[in-house]
Structure 1
Amino acid sequence: MSVRARPPFGGLDASMEVISGKWKVLIRWALRDDPQRFGALKRQVPGVSEKVLARQLRELEQDRVVRREAYDDRTGLRVEYSLTPRGIDLYQALKPLGDWGRRHLAPDAAPDRG
Protein backbone atom coordinates (compact mmCIF):
# COMPACT_ATOMS: atom_id res chain seq x y z
CA MET A 1 0.00 0.00 0.00
CA SER A 2 1.45 3.39 -0.87
CA VAL A 3 1.83 6.33 1.49
CA ARG A 4 -0.74 8.21 -0.57
CA ALA A 5 -3.41 5.53 0.04
CA ARG A 6 -2.94 4.67 3.69
CA PRO A 7 -4.29 6.43 6.73
CA PRO A 8 -1.72 8.43 8.70
CA PHE A 9 -0.63 6.25 11.62
CA GLY A 10 2.52 8.23 12.33
CA GLY A 11 5.65 9.48 10.71
CA LEU A 12 7.80 6.37 11.02
CA ASP A 13 5.51 4.05 9.06
CA ALA A 14 5.09 6.68 6.33
CA SER A 15 8.86 7.10 6.15
CA MET A 16 9.41 3.36 5.96
CA GLU A 17 6.90 3.11 3.13
CA VAL A 18 8.86 5.66 1.08
CA ILE A 19 12.20 3.94 1.64
CA SER A 20 10.93 0.36 1.37
CA GLY A 21 12.11 -1.66 -1.55
CA LYS A 22 15.46 -3.30 -2.09
CA TRP A 23 16.83 -0.59 -4.38
CA LYS A 24 15.22 2.70 -3.34
CA VAL A 25 17.86 3.73 -0.81
CA LEU A 26 20.62 2.94 -3.33
CA ILE A 27 18.82 4.91 -6.04
CA ARG A 28 18.58 7.94 -3.75
CA TRP A 29 22.24 7.53 -2.83
CA ALA A 30 23.18 7.54 -6.54
CA LEU A 31 21.21 10.77 -7.01
CA ARG A 32 22.68 12.55 -3.96
CA ASP A 33 25.03 14.88 -5.87
CA ASP A 34 23.88 15.28 -9.46
CA PRO A 35 21.01 14.41 -11.79
CA GLN A 36 21.51 11.05 -13.50
CA ARG A 37 20.24 9.45 -16.65
CA PHE A 38 18.63 6.02 -16.49
CA GLY A 39 21.70 4.20 -17.84
CA ALA A 40 24.00 5.89 -15.33
CA LEU A 41 21.67 4.92 -12.49
CA LYS A 42 21.60 1.33 -13.70
CA ARG A 43 25.43 1.24 -13.62
CA GLN A 44 25.54 2.75 -10.12
CA VAL A 45 23.02 0.26 -8.73
CA PRO A 46 24.50 -3.04 -9.91
CA GLY A 47 22.17 -5.99 -9.86
CA VAL A 48 18.93 -4.08 -10.41
CA SER A 49 16.99 -4.98 -13.54
CA GLU A 50 15.75 -2.27 -15.89
CA LYS A 51 12.14 -3.20 -15.10
CA VAL A 52 12.61 -2.89 -11.34
CA LEU A 53 14.67 0.30 -11.63
CA ALA A 54 11.95 1.90 -13.78
CA ARG A 55 9.22 0.81 -11.34
CA GLN A 56 11.06 2.06 -8.27
CA LEU A 57 11.87 5.38 -9.98
CA ARG A 58 8.15 5.78 -10.75
CA GLU A 59 7.26 5.07 -7.12
CA LEU A 60 9.87 7.55 -5.87
CA GLU A 61 8.48 10.10 -8.32
CA GLN A 62 4.93 9.48 -7.05
CA ASP A 63 6.18 10.02 -3.50
CA ARG A 64 7.74 13.31 -4.71
CA VAL A 65 11.22 12.21 -3.67
CA VAL A 66 12.62 12.00 -7.22
CA ARG A 67 12.01 14.34 -10.14
CA ARG A 68 11.96 13.09 -13.73
CA GLU A 69 12.79 15.72 -16.33
CA ALA A 70 12.68 15.15 -20.07
CA TYR A 71 14.69 17.33 -22.44
CA ASP A 72 14.42 17.43 -26.20
CA ASP A 73 17.82 18.50 -27.48
CA ARG A 74 19.88 18.05 -30.66
CA THR A 75 20.60 14.41 -29.88
CA GLY A 76 16.97 13.54 -29.20
CA LEU A 77 14.96 12.98 -26.06
CA ARG A 78 17.02 12.86 -22.85
CA VAL A 79 15.58 12.02 -19.43
CA GLU A 80 17.30 12.84 -16.15
CA TYR A 81 16.37 11.96 -12.60
CA SER A 82 17.24 14.08 -9.58
CA LEU A 83 16.27 14.44 -5.95
CA THR A 84 13.51 16.89 -5.11
CA PRO A 85 13.82 19.08 -1.99
CA ARG A 86 11.84 16.34 -0.21
CA GLY A 87 14.31 13.74 -1.50
CA ILE A 88 17.28 15.80 -0.30
CA ASP A 89 15.67 16.08 3.11
CA LEU A 90 15.13 12.30 3.18
CA TYR A 91 18.76 11.72 2.14
CA GLN A 92 19.88 13.91 5.06
CA ALA A 93 17.64 11.92 7.41
CA LEU A 94 19.12 8.61 6.20
CA LYS A 95 22.73 9.75 6.39
CA PRO A 96 23.06 8.98 10.15
CA LEU A 97 21.71 5.48 9.48
CA GLY A 98 24.47 4.91 6.93
CA ASP A 99 27.02 6.24 9.40
CA TRP A 100 25.74 3.79 12.02
CA GLY A 101 26.06 0.91 9.56
CA ARG A 102 29.64 1.85 8.71
CA ARG A 103 30.55 2.06 12.40
CA HIS A 104 28.86 -1.15 13.52
CA LEU A 105 28.26 -3.46 10.59
CA ALA A 106 30.87 -2.69 7.94
CA PRO A 107 33.44 -5.48 7.43
CA ASP A 108 36.23 -3.36 8.95
CA ALA A 109 34.17 -2.23 11.99
CA ALA A 110 35.48 -3.23 15.40
CA PRO A 111 33.34 -5.83 17.20
CA ASP A 112 30.73 -4.38 19.52
CA ARG A 113 31.56 -5.40 23.11
CA GLY A 114 28.47 -4.23 24.85
Structure 2
Amino acid sequence: MFKIKAEEYSCPVEALSNILGKKWVATIIWTLQKEEKRFGQLQREIDGCTKKMLSQQLDLLMEQGIVENEKVISGNTIESKYYLSETGLSLLPIVEQMIEWGNNHLTCD
Protein backbone atom coordinates (compact mmCIF):
# COMPACT_ATOMS: atom_id res chain seq x y z
CA MET A 1 0.00 0.00 0.00
CA PHE A 2 1.31 3.43 -0.98
CA LYS A 3 0.24 6.49 0.97
CA ILE A 4 0.36 10.13 -0.08
CA LYS A 5 -1.04 12.44 2.54
CA ALA A 6 -4.36 10.84 3.55
CA GLU A 7 -4.84 8.93 0.29
CA GLU A 8 -3.82 5.29 -0.14
CA TYR A 9 -2.95 3.58 -3.42
CA SER A 10 -2.44 -0.08 -4.19
CA CYS A 11 -0.54 0.68 -7.40
CA PRO A 12 2.81 2.52 -7.43
CA VAL A 13 2.07 3.98 -10.89
CA GLU A 14 -1.14 5.52 -9.59
CA ALA A 15 0.69 6.92 -6.55
CA LEU A 16 3.45 8.47 -8.67
CA SER A 17 0.89 9.83 -11.14
CA ASN A 18 -0.88 11.49 -8.25
CA ILE A 19 2.34 13.28 -7.28
CA LEU A 20 3.58 14.22 -10.76
CA GLY A 21 0.08 15.14 -11.90
CA LYS A 22 -0.29 17.90 -9.34
CA LYS A 23 0.02 21.39 -10.76
CA TRP A 24 3.60 22.70 -10.76
CA VAL A 25 5.21 19.54 -9.32
CA ALA A 26 6.97 18.43 -12.51
CA THR A 27 8.01 22.04 -13.14
CA ILE A 28 9.48 22.31 -9.63
CA ILE A 29 11.41 19.08 -10.09
CA TRP A 30 12.67 20.19 -13.51
CA THR A 31 13.66 23.64 -12.17
CA LEU A 32 15.70 22.09 -9.35
CA GLN A 33 17.49 19.61 -11.60
CA LYS A 34 20.88 21.36 -11.77
CA GLU A 35 21.22 23.42 -8.61
CA GLU A 36 19.72 24.29 -5.28
CA LYS A 37 17.50 27.34 -5.16
CA ARG A 38 16.02 29.62 -2.56
CA PHE A 39 12.23 29.92 -2.34
CA GLY A 40 12.20 33.34 -4.00
CA GLN A 41 14.39 32.11 -6.85
CA LEU A 42 12.02 29.21 -7.46
CA GLN A 43 9.00 31.47 -7.44
CA ARG A 44 10.59 33.85 -9.97
CA GLU A 45 11.59 30.98 -12.27
CA ILE A 46 8.18 29.29 -12.17
CA ASP A 47 6.05 31.96 -13.77
CA GLY A 48 2.44 31.89 -12.64
CA CYS A 49 2.92 29.77 -9.52
CA THR A 50 1.67 31.54 -6.41
CA LYS A 51 3.65 31.62 -3.18
CA LYS A 52 0.97 29.52 -1.46
CA MET A 53 0.90 26.87 -4.21
CA LEU A 54 4.71 26.67 -4.36
CA SER A 55 4.85 26.24 -0.60
CA GLN A 56 2.20 23.49 -0.66
CA GLN A 57 3.88 21.58 -3.47
CA LEU A 58 7.33 21.87 -1.88
CA ASP A 59 5.84 20.50 1.36
CA LEU A 60 4.38 17.54 -0.57
CA LEU A 61 7.69 16.89 -2.33
CA MET A 62 9.60 17.08 0.97
CA GLU A 63 7.12 14.68 2.65
CA GLN A 64 7.77 12.19 -0.16
CA GLY A 65 11.56 12.61 0.09
CA ILE A 66 11.84 14.08 -3.42
CA VAL A 67 13.00 17.56 -2.39
CA GLU A 68 15.14 18.47 0.58
CA ASN A 69 15.39 21.78 2.38
CA GLU A 70 18.62 22.95 3.94
CA LYS A 71 18.56 25.83 6.37
CA VAL A 72 21.75 27.75 7.12
CA ILE A 73 21.84 30.32 9.91
CA SER A 74 24.02 33.32 9.12
CA GLY A 75 23.92 35.94 11.84
CA ASN A 76 20.30 36.93 12.30
CA THR A 77 19.08 35.45 9.04
CA ILE A 78 18.11 31.95 8.03
CA GLU A 79 18.86 31.02 4.44
CA SER A 80 16.74 28.18 3.17
CA LYS A 81 17.67 26.29 0.00
CA TYR A 82 15.72 23.58 -1.79
CA TYR A 83 17.31 20.83 -3.84
CA LEU A 84 16.48 17.40 -5.24
CA SER A 85 17.28 14.40 -3.08
CA GLU A 86 18.68 11.23 -4.65
CA THR A 87 15.07 10.09 -4.99
CA GLY A 88 14.19 13.35 -6.73
CA LEU A 89 17.17 13.07 -9.07
CA SER A 90 16.01 9.59 -10.04
CA LEU A 91 12.72 11.15 -11.28
CA LEU A 92 14.46 13.40 -13.82
CA PRO A 93 14.52 10.79 -16.62
CA ILE A 94 10.77 10.24 -16.12
CA VAL A 95 10.02 13.97 -16.28
CA GLU A 96 12.28 14.27 -19.33
CA GLN A 97 10.39 11.45 -21.04
CA MET A 98 7.10 13.15 -20.20
CA ILE A 99 8.36 16.35 -21.84
CA GLU A 100 9.58 14.47 -24.90
CA TRP A 101 6.33 12.52 -25.22
CA GLY A 102 4.28 15.70 -24.87
CA ASN A 103 6.36 17.52 -27.48
CA ASN A 104 5.98 14.61 -29.91
CA HIS A 105 2.33 13.72 -29.39
CA LEU A 106 0.40 16.72 -28.09
CA THR A 107 -0.52 19.89 -29.90
CA CYS A 108 -0.38 23.23 -28.15
CA ASP A 109 -2.37 26.23 -29.31
Instruction: State the match for 2:22 in structure 1.
Output: 21
**Uncovered stretches (5+) of structure 2, i.e. residues with no partner:** none
Moved more, 3-12 or 35-44: 3-12
Question: Which ranges in structure 1 are unaligned for 5 or more consecutive residues?
Answer: 108-114
Q: CA deviation at 1:4?
A: 5.4
Deviates most, 53-62 or 69-78:
69-78
Provide the rounded CA distance (Å) in 1 between the counterparts of 2:102 and 2:21: 17
Greater fraction of residues in strand = 2
RMSD (Å) for aligned C-alpha atoms:
1.8
- Other structure's SS at 1:98 match: helix
Query: Rg larger in 1 or in 2?
Result: 1
> Residue type of the partner of 2:23?
K
CA distance in 1, matches of 2:58, 2:5: 16
Q: Whole-Å Cα distance in 2 between the matches of residues 6 and 22 of structure 1?
A: 17
Name the amino acid aligned to 2:14: D
TM-score, length-scaled by structure 2: 0.86
1:18–1:63 Cα contact (<8 Å) kept: no
TM-score by length of 1: 0.82
Q: Corresponding residue for 1:86?
A: 87
> In the alignment, which residue of structure 1 is the partner of 2:50?
49
Could you tell me how far 1:14 is from its partner in structure 2?
1.3
Question: Matched residues, percent identical?
Answer: 26
Change (3 A) 1:106 1:40: farther
